[in-house]
């Protein structure tokens, strides 16, 4: 609509200026909020003032920033590494350690992450916490990967502006400052265990998708080869999971796949040329993995676990201490089977021991097994995440009767 008089035109121009001033002030306040909270750790490299000591947001964005911040030893892996070691990492000997773990990640995504690791000239060691889920082809790259420095197509200007003004960053800032509610863990370890068992029993992507194909193994090999060229020393660790989850792997028919996966890892490492990469297995029936989990609400949590799938930091640091002691030749006493370095010479004996220990656990922990069976049977009646019903007939819920004891009258 045309303006009738010069006064109308001047009034419109004044309105536009005021609107722009209000918008600029709003963006300035938004940027100040995100700098002061800095939930992803984006602006700490500029030494700008911020309130929280450590960025708390567990995302691809903050993981890339942690890896870039004068990191010398980088921990890579899934949420099991996030929970087991935390964001604020103390030194490992004389080296600065950073936790670059990514929740729900895959070996294909870690391949992309490793390109970023290699560009950080300060990094000397990479410890890859690997588990079977990493190698499932159903998994790819998560959505927030595109927002992070891991994404080569993201310019620094676009990245910093996203950190200053985006709704994602602002929401994370409010959570960081305690002005909004963020993700809350289940209110009890018992509830957390239900959540994890639901995921493993009802989500087929967590127990299918790998049939021994070479692609994910080859991806891992390329990561190790690139690290060798960059003179980054690597170490591989299969982290602990609770015995109840190992029994769940048996329920879902995934046990033999996981054993085959261990064989493939050992074979690949043995075939590689150059410095040997150690592979440590902590996913065993050691003392802390077989400790009782609460089966009723009034029972206390097990301090070594967040839930059946995720170790606590207490167990995580015991894991690292175990490896350091072995590396340095220290003669500390550790629980039996807490950390076994896998080789072509011991892999078959190790798998046989795991199978025997699984059967022994089922026989020696009848109350824990009864809770698992009852919980699994209940969960299998719940709707699946995609709305499809799970084939209950595909799962074996008769764990206590699948060993020699079943043959007794």
Tens digits of per-residue pLDDT, 371-399? 999 999 999 888 877 654 444 334 445 44
CA pair distance 366, 343, nearest whole angstrom: 33
Rounded Cα distance, 59 and 40, in Å: 8
Confidence at residue 391, expressed as pLDDT on a 0 to 100 scale: 42
Instruction: Measure the CA–CA gap between 82 and 100, rounded to whole angstroms.
Output: 8
Where does residue 179 rank: exposed (0-12), middle (13-18), buried (19+ CB within 10 A)? exposed
Q: In 3D, which of 251, 255, 322, 325 has the Cα closest to residue 286?
A: 322
Quote the CA–CA distance of 89 and 129 in Å, as a whole number: 16
Task: Give the span between the Cα atoms of 381 and 403, in whole angstroms.
Answer: 27
What local confidence, expressed as pLDDT, does residue 392 receive?
39
347 C-beta neighbours (distance < 10 Å), count: 20
Angle of the 60-68 helix axis to the 107-119 helix axis, nearest 10: 30
String of DSSP letters for 16-75:
HHHHHHHHHHHHHHHHHHHHHH-TT-SSGGGT---SSSS----SHHHHHHHHHTT-SEEE
pLDDT computed for residue 389 by the predictor: 46
Q: How far is CA 157 from CA 24, 154, 250, in A?
A: 18, 8, 49
Q: Could you read off the pLDDT of 86-142 as tens digits, one per residue? A: 877 777 778 899 999 998 899 999 999 999 999 999 999 999 999 998 988 767 678
- Answer for the pair 192, 185: CB distance below 8 angstroms, yes or no: yes
Of the candidates 110, 129, 106, 130, which has an alpha carbon nearest to the alpha carbon of residue 118? 110
- Residue 264's nearest CA partner among 353, 134, 141, 76 is 134
| Structure confidence at residue 403 (pLDDT) | 33
Segments of the chain scoring below 70 in pLDDT: 1-9, 50, 52-57, 138, 140, 182-186, 207-209, 386-409
Question: Distance between CA 195 and CA 206 in Å, rounded?
Answer: 14
| 95 secondary structure, DSSP code | B
The Cα–Cα gap between 221 and 232 comes to 14
Which residue, 59, 70, 97, 81, is CA-closest to 134?
Answer: 81
pLDDT at 250: 92
Pairing of strands 305-307, 310-311: antiparallel
Q: Which long-range contacts link 140-147 to residues 24+ away (Cβ below 8 Å)?
A: 140/106, 140/108, 140/109, 141/106, 141/108, 141/109, 141/112, 142/60, 142/102, 142/103, 142/104, 142/105, 142/109, 144/59, 144/60, 144/61, 145/60, 145/109, 145/112, 147/59, 147/60, 147/61
Q: How many CB atoms lie within 10 A of CB 31?
A: 18
φ, ψ at 98 (rounded to 5°): -130, 150
How big is the CA angle at 384 (ends 380 and 389), to the nearest 5 degrees?
Answer: 70
């Amino acid at each position: 609509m045309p303006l009738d008089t010069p006064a109308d035109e001047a009034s419109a121009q004044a309105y536009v200026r005021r609107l722009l001033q209000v918008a600029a002030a709003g963006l300035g306040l938004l940027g100040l909020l995100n700098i002061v909270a800095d939930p992803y750790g984006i602006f700490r490299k500029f030494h700008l003032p911020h309130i929280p000591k450590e960025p708390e947001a567990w995302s691809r964005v903050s993981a890339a920033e942690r890896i870039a911040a004068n990191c010398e030893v980088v921990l890579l892996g899934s949420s099991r590494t996030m929970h087991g070691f935390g964001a604020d990492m103390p030194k490992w000997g004389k080296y600065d350690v950073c936790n670059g773990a990514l929740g729900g990640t895959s070996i294909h995504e870690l391949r992309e992450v490793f390109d970023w690791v290699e560009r950080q000239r300060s990094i000397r060691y990479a410890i890859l916490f690997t588990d079977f889920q990493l190698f499932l082809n159903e998994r790819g790259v998560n959505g927030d990967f595109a927002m992070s420095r891991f994404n080569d197509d993201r310019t620094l200007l676009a990245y910093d502006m996203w950190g200053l003004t985006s709704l994602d960053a602002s929401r994370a800032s409010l959570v960081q400052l305690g002005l909004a509610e963020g993700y809350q863990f289940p209110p009890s370890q018992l509830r957390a265990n239900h959540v994890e068992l639901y995921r493993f029993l009802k989500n087929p992507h967590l127990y299918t998708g790998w049939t021994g194909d070479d692609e994910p193994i080859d991806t891992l090999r390329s990561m190790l080869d690139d690290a060798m060229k960059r003179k980054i020393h690597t170490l591989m660790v299969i982290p602990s999971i609770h015995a109840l989850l190992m029994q769940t792997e048996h329920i879902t028919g995934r046990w033999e796949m996981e054993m085959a996966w261990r064989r493939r890892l050992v074979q690949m490492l043995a075939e590689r040329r150059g410095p040997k990469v150690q592979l440590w297995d902590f996913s065993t029936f050691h003392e802390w993995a077989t400790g009782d989990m609460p089966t009723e609400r009034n029972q206390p949590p097990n301090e070594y676990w967040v839930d059946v799938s995720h170790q606590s930091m207490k167990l995580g640091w015991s894991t690292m201490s175990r490896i350091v002691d072995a590396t340095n030749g220290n003669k500390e006493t550790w629980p039996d089977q807490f950390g076994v370095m896998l080789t072509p010479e011991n892999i078959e004996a190790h798998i046989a021991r795991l199978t025997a220990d699984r059967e022994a656990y089922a026989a020696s922990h009848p109350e824990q097994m009864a809770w698992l069976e009852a919980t699994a049977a209940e969960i299998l009646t719940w709707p699946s995440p995609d709305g499809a019903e799970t084939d209950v007939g595909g799962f074996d819920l008769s764990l206590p009767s699948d060993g020699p004891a079943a043959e007794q009258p």
